[in-house]
Homo-oligomer: A and B are copies of this chain.
Amino acid sequence: MTTTAVKSGPADIETKLSMYRMQVELRQFEQRAYDMFLENLVKGTSHLSLGQEAIATGFAMAMRPDDWTFATYRGHAHTLSRGVPMTPVLAELLGRSNGLMAGKGGSMHLTSVEHGMMGSYAIIGAHLPIACGAAWSAQYRGTEQVAVCFFGDGSTNIGAFHEALNFAAIWKLPVVFVCENNLWMEYTRTSEVTAVTHPAADRASAYGLESIIVDGNDADAVYDVAAAAIARARAGEGPSMIEAETYRHGGHSRADPGKYRPDSEVAEWLAKDPIPRYRSRLLEAGVSEAQLASIEAEVTAAVDLATEEAKAGGIPGEDLLMKDVWADGGSSWRN
């Protein structure tokens, strides 16, 4: 088992500052999304990545712009981390016509192909084989693109996980599987329904893969394992699976207060919050408090602006309803 040492990450401070900014963006975006949910502006459901920002950040930074992300319904952070602007993402949550998919997908299906964000998938496990397919296509066409596929700890017990891992291994596909282990499924503790301690890492050997665990609340550590795995994949050396240990600060979805979790556990993990940790590290490295504060303020301004723009979006109409079932843009099943 490989456990990557901390205090590594990208060498230059500029990149580290970008990583800080990204984490703050993801954090503030999710907080805003939650506020708007409570205001009943987010209509369906939503699953926030509060507390898990370091994983999306570390990976996004290690990816090439033409690499591909496959995420779950808990996909806001992964979408933003690939460079998708905040406004269309927030507007999508509000069901507005300026939403990323004009309101047709909703919070659980954020997709922006132009940013390599190949979709958020709401059926547990499904996107692991789909990511294999993208990786296969890269391999076939020789483009050296890599597919990165994120999923949760609870998702390791579904059949599609198993099929995808074996498939990727035998075809040596350029895909990196990332288990964001936040200890919980919806309201059930994953360890109570899983036969091994590390739901992903302890199963890597079943697919001939190395067991890799990383501190998922340390963006630099994540960056390092991500860069290594992506490089391996790009070099044709096949898939990797990484288990990133983390925690979600809030509930599973919507307004769930997450009360089923012991207070002590929540407190322990709040103390490991990736953002203050990263902030301290930057201060230690000589970045000024003022510089960090200005990043934070800029992000707040951006989130405020996105909020306004999203709210100003129109209500999607009948024209959108019957559009884009088929590649011809329409929905007719008859002549």
A203 to B159, CA, bound (A): 14
Name the B residues within 8 Å of A158 (CB-CB): 159, 162-163
- Residue total for A at the interface (Cβ-Cβ under 8 A): 24
CB distance from A190 to the nearest CB of B (A): 11
CB distance from A160 to the nearest CB of B (A): 6
Chain A window 150-187, contacts with chain B (Cβ cutoff 8 Å), 1 for yes, 0 for no: 00000001111111011001100000000000000000
A205 to B201, CA, bound (A): 11
Task: List the B residue with the shortest CB-CB distance to A169.
Answer: B195
Name the B residues within 8 Å of A330 (CB-CB): none
Q: A165-B195, A196-B205 are in contact. List 17 more A-B contacts (CB 8 A).
A: A157-B166, A158-B162, A158-B163, A159-B161, A159-B162, A162-B163, A166-B193, A166-B194, A169-B195, A170-B194, A170-B195, A195-B209, A196-B207, A202-B206, A203-B206, A205-B205, A206-B206
Contact of A196 among B162, B195, B202, B208 (CB under 8 A): B208
Task: List the B residue with the shortest CB-CB distance to A163.
Answer: B159
Pairs of residues from A and B, 10 with the lowest C-beta to C-beta distance, nearest first? A159-B159, A162-B162, A169-B195, A206-B206, A203-B206, A195-B208, A195-B207, A166-B195, A157-B166, A159-B163
Name the B residues within 8 Å of A208 (CB-CB): 195-196
A208 to B202, CA, bound (A): 9
